[in-house]
Amino acid sequence: MPELPDVTVYVERLDAKVRGDTLEQVRILNPFLLRTALPPIAQAQGKKVVGVERLGKRVVLALEGDLFLVIHLMIAGRLRWLAAGAKPPGKIALATFEFGAGTLVLTEAGTRRRASLHLVAGRGALSAMDPGGIDVLSGDLAAFSAQLQAENHTLKRSLTNPRLFSGIGNAYSDEILHRARLSPVMLTRSMKPDETARLFEATRAVMTEWTDLLRDEAGDWPDKVTAFHPKMAVHGRYGQPCPVCGSPVQRIVHADNETNYCARCQTGGKLLADRALSRLLKASWPKHIDDIE
């Protein structure tokens, strides 16, 4: 799923291309994409773009007349920019937004249609779509700590909760926790002040560094948005060496999500129980990284 760094770069590039341009036509190619009926989507046509914004993991096109097109890419949704008149890709295209300068195409890989499009009227209606998580790049340590202490959950769950923190998902939470040298299953209310401060600094550093990196790599448009980047330390690198200590990266698999971590850097060498594999192996499940190295 595109997270804060990816969405920020989408917003920046799109703003440079369409601010002040007119949205000439919206074509909905999949009926499940559009989640609002009022105002009708046709009302967005003919309106000028007054800005492009980020709302959590959503891309927002602000139109004249106090209208807002809200695009949520979910897991497999992506945005493409085509020259004016170019044909959009086949079955994966869900919608096209035609401007004088070119066409924005919303695509989604696979068969599960999770991406969504809303058209809302008024800043209040847009604000109602905000889950409420704080922006980690503008908030301070006190606000960050308060959010962590609001509920007693694992660090992984809290960091990826959009009601607590804005724009952090599965991929960058792994990178943040590795940078902070903290276990993904540590409970938030068991954290010491120095651990909270370390997590705060790691969160800001990881999000800033990755936004800068993706911005530099994007060129005219970010065509290769992915949750698995070769420069990541642990996310998507199960079995590969940790760039800090060289131990093989470990994982916890739960439903569609996978948490990657370094046992030596983050858990004192302890291997965390995987809900599938550890239950299968039971007594044979290794307890320490030294048991498998």
Residues 190-248 pLDDT 10s: 999 999 999 999 999 999 999 999 999 999 999 989 888 999 999 999 999 999 999 99
The pLDDT score that the predictor gives to residue 8 is: 97
Which letter does DSSP use for residue 271 in this model?
P
Domain ranges, residue 167: 141-291
The pLDDT score that the predictor gives to residue 257 is: 80
The pLDDT score that the predictor gives to residue 281 is: 40
Reading the block at residue 11, the tokens are: 């917003």
Average pLDDT over residues 53-78: 96
CATH number at residue 70: 3.20.190.10
**Percent of the chain's residues with pLDDT above 70:** 92
Which of 70, 97, 127 delimits the end of a domain? 127
Alpha carbons 130 and 117: distance in angstroms, whole number: 14
Non-local CB neighbours of 106 within 8 Å, separated by 6+ positions: 33, 71, 73, 77, 78, 79, 93, 94, 95, 96, 97, 115, 117
Reading the block at residue 21, the tokens are: 């341009």
The pLDDT score that the predictor gives to residue 206 is: 98
The pLDDT score that the predictor gives to residue 208 is: 98
Residues 68-105 pLDDT 10s: 999 999 999 999 999 988 888 888 999 999 999 999 99
CB of 153 within 8 A of CB of 71? no
Q: How many domains does the chain have?
A: 2
Alpha carbons 142 and 51: distance in angstroms, whole number: 31
Reading the block at residue 77, the tokens are: 């949704």
The verdict on residue 136 lying in a domain is no
The pLDDT score that the predictor gives to residue 290 is: 55
Nearest to 207 by CA among 171, 249, 241, 162: 171
Distance of CA 142 to the CA centre of its chain: 24
Q: Is the same domain home to 120 and 168?
A: no
CATH number at residue 239: 1.10.8.50
The pLDDT score that the predictor gives to residue 276 is: 54
Reported pTM: 0.92
The pLDDT score that the predictor gives to residue 275 is: 58
Q: Is the same domain home to 40 and 120?
A: yes
- Within 10 angstroms of residue 27's Cβ, the number of other Cβ atoms is 14
Q: Is the same domain home to 154 and 221?
A: yes
CB of 229 within 8 A of CB of 222? no
pLDDT above 50 (res 292): yes
Residues 134-148 pLDDT 10s: 999 999 999 999 999
Q: Is 85 exposed, middle or buried (0-12, 13-18, 19+ CB in 10 A)?
A: exposed
Q: Is the same domain home to 12 and 153?
A: no
pLDDT category of residue 280 using cuts at 50, 70 and 90:
very low
pLDDT above 60 (res 174): yes
**Percent of the chain's residues with pLDDT above 90:** 83
Q: Would you mind telling me the total number of residues written for the chain in this entry?
A: 293
Q: φ and ψ at 50, to 5 degrees?
A: -100, -10
Q: Is the same domain home to 115 and 187?
A: no
Which of 77, 95, 127 delimits the end of a domain? 127
pLDDT above 80 (res 6): yes
CB of 260 within 8 A of CB of 235? yes
pLDDT above 90 (res 168): yes
Average pLDDT, the chain: 92
Buried b (16+ CB within 10 A) or exposed e, 252-285: beeeeebbbbbbbbbbebebbebeeebeeeeeee
pLDDT above 60 (res 279): no
Q: Is the same domain home to 157 and 216?
A: yes
Q: Is the same domain home to 200 and 266?
A: yes
